[in-house]
Amino acid sequence: MVTDQQPRMPLIQEAPLIRDQVYQVLLTKLISGELAPGDKITERLTASELGISTTPVKEALRRLENEGFVRTIPRRGIVVGENALTSFEQVITVRAWLEGLAARLCAVRVAAGEIDGPTLEALTVPLALMKDPILRPVDEIVGINASFHEAIRELSGNRVIVQFVGTLLGVDAAVRKRALADPEELQRGNAEHIDVGDAILDGDADRAEALMRSHVLRSGDHTLHAGPS
């Protein structure tokens, strides 16, 4: 039962654009293996399946092509790239190091007293929700986890990290949502988040960085090799 003393997350969030939703749907299919290397992706069929026009589908496919997940073959159309899995793995590796560095910098700032209580609530609120045993819908858990990671990046004080990781968030969201659909992975990831958060609040920079990097790498690897859901 929720009480007035329990931390709360915003109930209203900005709705994603249709093209971003299409991008997430296609990414999830790529990650799960539903769309395999060499498979053709048809704009009209995808639009029909989703009940939308072809315009947002074109925009989503253009983004996927720019990121190396799909490619255009003359007289055949758009197909899943042969190196799509490698592209995912590279994104996860880069994100792991950047998120690890963000956790380190955040812990350093906490230890130095550079982050006051109200500002630190951006981290302590989602952390408290993770420690709360109340059962929550997967979408709500995904939002809490996203807020946790975002808070660490923002509180790191490094705008370059925030900007670079921001370019990876499309892939990150698809990976995270798929991972959290697995109850065991959800519990494992939640425990790892709590360990990272506690290390940051303790001002233990080495531990915070190592735990965050390990978490992102392990979670990403588990998701990419879990097979179709």
Q: Which band of pLDDT confidence, cut at 50, 70 and 90, is reported for residue 167?
A: confident
Q: Do domains 18-82 and 85-224 have the same CATH topology?
A: no
Residue scoring higher pLDDT (180 or 229): 180
State the Cα–Cα distance between residues 202 and 71, nearest whole angstrom: 46
CATH assignment of 18-82, among 3.40.50.2300, 1.10.10.10, 1.10.3720.10, 3.40.50.1980: 1.10.10.10
State the amino acid at position 163 in one-letter form. Answer: Q
The structure tokens 């709590």 sit at: 194
CB 30 within 8 A of CB 176: no
CB 105 within 8 A of CB 156: yes
pLDDT tens readout for residues 20-79: 889 989 988 888 788 999 999 999 999 999 999 999 999 999 999 988 899 999 989 999
Q: What is the value of pTM for the model shown? A: 0.79
The closest alpha carbon to 8, from 178, 136, 102, 187, belongs to 136
Instruction: Provide the terminal-to-terminal Cα distance of the chain, rounded to the nearest Å.
Output: 31
Identify the sign of the CA torsion 14, 15, 19, 24: positive
Specify the pLDDT at position 141.
84
The ranges assigned to domains in the chain are 18-82, 85-224
- 42 in helix, strand or coil? coil
pLDDT tens readout for residues 111-120: 999 998 899 9
Q: Is the pLDDT of residue 211 over 70?
A: yes
Q: Which band of pLDDT confidence, cut at 50, 70 and 90, is reported for residue 152?
A: very high
pLDDT tens readout for residues 119-141: 999 999 999 999 987 888 877 88
The DSSP output letter for 75 is T
Specify the pLDDT at position 129.
94
CATH assignment of 85-224, among 1.20.120.530, 1.10.569.10, 1.10.1740.10, 3.90.580.10: 1.20.120.530
